[in-house]
Amino acid sequence: MPENLEAKPVTVPTLLVLDADPLPRLGRLTGRVRVEHADASTLAGRLPAADVLLVWDFASDAVRRAWPGEGPRPRWVHTASAGVDHLLCPELVASDTVVTNARGIFDRPIAEYVAALVLAFAKDLPRTLELQRERAWRHRETRRVAGTRAVVVGSGPIGRAIAGTLGALGVRTALVGRTARSAVHGPEDLDRLMAGADWVIAAAPLTGRTPGMFDTRRFGMMQPSAYFLNVGRGQLVVEEALARALRGRWIAGAALDVFAAEPLTPDSPLWELPGLVVSPHMSGDTVGWRDELGAQFVELYERWAAGLPLVNVVDKQRGYVPGH
């Protein structure tokens, strides 16, 4: 008996949760893990005792800041997000710790969100709502989306889901990935595809190669009738360059769901740029999403506890989960 009691701390893994509100629902794991909680201020102190770290507060960069400290580190880090840019630091990349992400949860919701914005722009819906406030009956001709051309930058599951949904609406959609392969263009085709596109959609992860890829030169090559949408990461876009493109009517409009600094502060000039739709990083967050994220982690945990190989494993060098 005393032996068992003493052994227990060794056999029950410690799951450290970097919290956000509301807490994850980890029902099936009750009693099988020792759950501890941390916030940005306590994370560094609690990391050494953790076997597993669940990054539930994926808007925080606390992991990237706390990881390089002293002591042992969790063997596995899971983030309840598709992007991993907020946690990868050189020390974590170089370590043996496995990093997994929420691949799969956000694909269809984000694809629907992009379709919503594409259709809203095509049908001039923001202007319709403005005219309604003015009680003005003003007929306009709008655009058909069927037959238009989109380029989606980012060929992971989210980019592919966007291409599938736009394709179902008759939009001819090209995917651009890190390297050319079947049905995916390489970066060398991006300029040409952007120049011919009606819709340019950023859905790439933030990696060493992608910051600032949408800059003045690239906005300058878009058609004046074209729209730019970003559902990837804010840092993909040079925001001042987009502001210039919108103010100068180089392009017809844009929608940003992600920003270099989030939340966007009330004094940001982005709120009032002509033709820009601003949304608060919510494109993938449909009702029930947190439950889905919790259930996904529980499933991964079952594999880990059983000694099975994890899925959704991030290539820490590349900064995303490689796949077809």
Residues serving a catalytic function are: 233, 262, 281
Answer yes or no whether residue 280 interacts with a copy of itself by CB under 8 A. yes
- Exactly one of 8, 142, 274, 322 binds a copy of itself (CB under 8 A); which one? 142
CB nearer to a copy of itself: give 70 or 137.
137
Answer yes or no whether residue 148 interacts with a copy of itself by CB under 8 A. no
Cα 199 to the center of its chain, rounded Å? 19
Q: Which stretch binds a copy of itself (CB under 8 A): 31-39, 141-149, 176-184, 228-236?
A: 141-149
Residues of this chain, 74-103, that bind a copy of itself according to CB under 8 A? none
CB nearer to a copy of itself: give 75 or 172.
172
- Exactly one of 281, 310, 313, 318 binds a copy of itself (CB under 8 A); which one? 281
Q: What is the DSSP letter of 201?
A: E
Contacts of 25-32 with CB under 8 Å at 24 or more apart are 25/290, 25/291, 25/294, 26/294, 26/297, 26/298, 26/301, 27/298, 28/298, 28/302, 29/298, 29/301, 32/305
Answer yes or no whether residue 21 interacts with a copy of itself by CB under 8 A. no
Residue with the two structure tokens 């990935």: 177
Answer yes or no whether residue 317 interacts with a copy of itself by CB under 8 A. no
Would you say the C-alpha torsion 190, 195, 199, 202 has a positive or negative sign?
A: positive
Residues of this chain, 175-214, that bind a copy of itself according to CB under 8 A? none
CB nearer to a copy of itself: give 76 or 259.
259
CA nearest neighbour of 230 among 207, 203, 253: 203
- Would you give the binding string for a copy of itself spanning residues 283-312, x where CB under 8 A is met? --xxxxx-----------------------
- Would you give the binding string for a copy of itself spanning residues 243-262, x where CB under 8 A is met? -------------------x
List, in order, residues 6 or more apart from 246 with CB less than 8 Å away: 253, 254, 273, 274, 275, 276
| Distance between CA atoms of residues 168 and 165, nearest Å | 5
CB nearer to a copy of itself: give 119 or 213.
119
Answer yes or no whether residue 274 interacts with a copy of itself by CB under 8 A. no
CB nearer to a copy of itself: give 287 or 306.
287
Beta pairing partners, 308: none
CB nearer to a copy of itself: give 49 or 119.
119
Contacts of 301-307 with CB under 8 Å at 24 or more apart are 301/15, 301/26, 301/29, 301/33, 301/52, 302/28, 304/52, 304/76, 305/13, 305/32
Answer yes or no whether residue 132 interacts with a copy of itself by CB under 8 A. yes
CB nearer to a copy of itself: give 14 or 286.
286
First to last CA, the chain: 51
Answer yes or no whether residue 131 interacts with a copy of itself by CB under 8 A. yes
Number of residues interacting with a copy of itself: please give it, by CB under 8 A. Answer: 49
| Distance between CA atoms of residues 319 and 204, nearest Å | 11
| Distance between CA atoms of residues 189 and 193, nearest Å | 6
- Exactly one of 34, 65, 108, 172 binds a copy of itself (CB under 8 A); which one? 108
Q: 215-253 burial, b for 16+ CB within 10 Å, e for fewer?
A: eeebbebbbeebbbbbbbbbbbbbbebbbebbeeebbbb
Q: Which stretch binds a copy of itself (CB under 8 A): 36-44, 48-56, 94-102, 265-273?
A: 265-273
The residue ranges that bind a copy of itself (CB under 8 A) are: 108-109, 112-113, 115-117, 119-120, 122-123, 125-126, 128-129, 131-132, 135-146, 165, 168-169, 262-264, 266, 268, 271, 277-282, 285-289
